Amino acid sequence: MGLDALHLKLLLLLCTATAAAAATAQTKPGCNDRCGNVSIPYPFGTSKNCYIDELFSVNCTTTMSPSGEATTQLIYGSNIPVLNISLDPPELTVSANVSYHCYDSSYAYNWIRFGKFSISNSKNRFTVVGCDTNASIKDLRGNRFQTGCTLKCSNKLRFENGACSGVGCCQTSFPKAIRNYSISLSSDNNYTDVRDFNPCGYAFIAKVGSFEFSYQDLFDLSNRTEFPVVMDWAVGNQTCLDAQRDPSSYACKQNSRCQDSNGTTGYYCVCEQGFSGNPYLDSGCKDINECLGENRCSRKCHNIDGNYTCSCPRGYKGDGYKDGSGCKFPIMEISLGISIGLLVVFTLVSTLCWGRKQRALKQLRRQYFNQNGGNYMLQQLYQQQGHTNRTKVFTEDELKIATNNFDESRILGHGGQGTVYKGILPDNMHVAIKKSRVGGDPRQVKDFVNEVVVLSQINHRNVVKLFGCCLETEVPLLVYEFVDNGTLLDHMEPLKNEHSLSWKTRLQVAAETAAAISYLHYAASIPIIHRDIKSANILLDHSHRAKVSDFGASRLVPLDETQVTTVVQGTWGYLDPEYILTGQLDEKSDVYSFGVVLVELITGNKAVEFNRPEEQRNLAMYFASSMKEDNLLEILDKRVLDQKNAEQITEVAFLARRCIRVNGEERPTMKEVAMELEGLMAQGKHPWVKGEDMMFEECEPLVGHLAGGYGNASASNSAAYDSIQKQIAFEIEDGR
């Protein structure tokens, strides 16, 4: 197998594993089937009607980190994190802490109580790491079992990485049906002789295969504070024979059978042969259609509940089974010689033709894969570990079916890097499919690969989600979520949309877009500069939620760099003047582009419009000039301007002016911009008011206008003008 084919096969396996992990958990109707990345199958559940009894109750909790990131975790018992729940075999994988004892600390002791469920003695091992360490494990009462390890070694010995053989690392088993344990650690010489390479000893229970010893672990194992532990669970506290005598409490439903637990008290259920699903739910075990997979039928297969039967076509004789008499035509014996000869020739020719066709197809696909930047993309994705499993590789046939063979009626629009089609996948999911214009141009290949790499590591509700790509076609294809309400530019142009967006909606779009860009700059694993922020790249869903799209021009900025030198790329009217002159790209370039979008939102005009007078063609320059000359009202969008929001629009105008300053150092960061816009939305008042006296002074004219009512649009705009003039005066006096 060639290197390219191996890379493609690895990517397909990663995508298949991701799709399998996303399967819906088997729960009762109306119950949570997932907590974070963990599925919650019945008999487990998070609420009273969702689990079989209190022993199977789990909690889904969300905690906030100091950085403000939310972490969702499934908890069993008092505070035991759950990593996985399996029905067959009946196992619960949880996370348990590592016990440690160092030369500068006292006697170490740690205990855990798991309740009714037992620790699997076949799937876990008690592990000790150290060179002057005594470790033991026993039940909490100390009268059922006790075992452990004593490790003595020096750095002159040869430590074997990957092997826990008794030199620096020891593993031992323990009895089954253990529901709690305590770990004790001590040192004979307080690590005096080994402190330079082993200052601490460690002990823990871990799932077999989850820990691989290395010499570095003797220096410091604190980077692994927890390990997975497999627990055996069972329903009830009876054997199968006793449980079946009481049908009202018997947990196994139709098409399932009972098995006595080997690791704990009670029993568990499994689907009968020929069925699959959840044996604890009514109708949970579904019939498997064996006819769709490998079976023993030579011709016709007939699926039945839990099994299948075989038959022969009309005119043939036999039982239809490959290992039986099969299906034979009556005159087969007469023409056997001729048939065998023809069959050999036909098979030989077919094999040769098929092999040639497969080689040609394989060569063509490999050619397209290389042409579309496949190797470069794999290299980039592998460098971003932890994100490759989010990208699914689609086949060309799947996307042809989804787009009706890329019919023109499915075209959503034409972007800078290709044409976008609407597609419908077999599960009825609507997606947007970008057909790249790559035609051998290396820069366009890098743009396409760049968009895959960037989007594969982004997870934000205001950024379009990448579902996968297709590389086996003449031009590469991207598949991402479908946003059904067009672009912000479509909603701002009167010719395309007769109903203008309200000011509240515009402010919401601005705040959500700023939050997304701030996430790219500060929260992504590697900072991302979008480099093409514009209203045409801000999509809106049916609720007018903003979605930032089109990452073909985006750049990843290493954490140790603040800016990158690159060829100027973007859209005129939104490009940072400092970036155009120097070619130095940094986060403030996105701030400038976003400032232009803010100007579009408050003026209702496009960034560049050649039908306007020459001094007004560049909206950013015209806006800055108008602000300087105190002519803000003349360029504001009268469709959203009224007395109620005049001062809020003014505040956004001053924020936009700060964003489009020529000197990048004088612009705010996107985090500051996002916080200010969020504040405007959340507070519903003037963030710039300094005190009660000033607030009364600024609001007094508004009270007079409100008393006079809103007789007509000109009266409303006049009141807004007065408020804006006062706001501008206040801003200037305040030194802004």
Closest CA to 655 of 580, 725, 602: 602
Q: Which residues are bridge partners to 81 per DSSP?
A: 75
Structure tokens at 482: 């479908």
Tokens 């497969």 correspond to: 358
Residues annotated as catalytic (active site), given as ranges = 532
Helix axes 336-371, 374-383, angle to 10 degrees: 70
CA–CA separation, 456 and 510 (whole Å): 24
Amino acid at 687: P
**532 φ, ψ to 5°?**
-145, 50
Could you state, in chain order, the average pLDDT of each consecutive group of 10 residues for the chain (736 residues)?
43 40 65 92 93 92 83 88 94 92 76 82 93 90 85 86 89 89 90 88 93 90 88 91 91 93 90 93 91 89 92 85 83 72 88 88 80 75 59 84 92 77 92 75 67 77 88 83 89 72 93 94 83 91 90 61 64 90 88 96 90 88 92 88 85 95 94 94 55 35 31 41 46 39
Amino acid at 576: D
CA–CA separation, 342 and 349 (whole Å): 10
Cβ contacts of 189 within 8 Å, gap of 6 or more? 132
Residue 246 in contact with residue 258, Cβ under 8 Å? no
Ranges of beta strands (E only) in 98-216 are: 99-102, 108-113, 118-119, 124-129, 132-138, 146-152, 169-172, 180-186, 200-207
Residue 619 in contact with residue 599, Cβ under 8 Å? yes
Complete DSSP assignment for 437-475: --SS-HHHHHHHHHHHHHHHT---TTBPPEEEEE-SSSS
Cβ contacts of 90 within 8 Å, gap of 6 or more? 232, 233, 234, 261, 268
pLDDT at 715: 39
Instruction: Tell the burial category of 330 from Cβ atoms under 10 Å away from its Cβ (0-12, 13-18, 19+).
Output: exposed
Residue 642 in contact with residue 720, Cβ under 8 Å? yes
CA–CA separation, 531 and 524 (whole Å): 16
CA–CA separation, 655 and 677 (whole Å): 9
Residue 18: how many other CB atoms lie within 10 Å: 15
- Dihedral sign for Cα 578, 580, 586, 591, please: positive
Q: Which domains does the chain have, with CATH numbers?
A: 94-232 (2.60.120), 236-288 (2.10.25), 374-482 (3.30.200.20), 487-685 (1.10.510.10)
Amino acid at 454: V
User: In what helix (H) or strand (E) does residue 185 lie, and over which residues does it extend?
Assistant: strand 180-186
Cβ contacts of 260 within 8 Å, gap of 6 or more? 239, 240, 267
Residue 636: how many other CB atoms lie within 10 Å: 22
Cβ contacts of 196 within 8 Å, gap of 6 or more? 155
**504 φ, ψ to 5°?**
-60, -45
CA–CA separation, 404 and 423 (whole Å): 8
**Angle subtended at Cα 649 by Cα 645 and Cα 650, rounded to the nearest 5 degrees:** 115
> What region, left, alpha or beta, does residue 418 occupy, with left being phi > 0 and alpha being psi -120 to 50 degrees?
left
pLDDT at 567: 66
Tokens 């232009």 correspond to: 596
Helix axes 587-603, 670-683, angle to 10 degrees: 30
**141 φ, ψ to 5°?**
-75, -25
Cβ contacts of 607 within 8 Å, gap of 6 or more? 534, 535, 571, 573, 574, 596, 599, 600, 618, 619, 620
Query: Pseudo-torsion of CA 588, 594, 599, 600, nearest 10°?
Result: 150
Structure tokens at 217: 């672990």
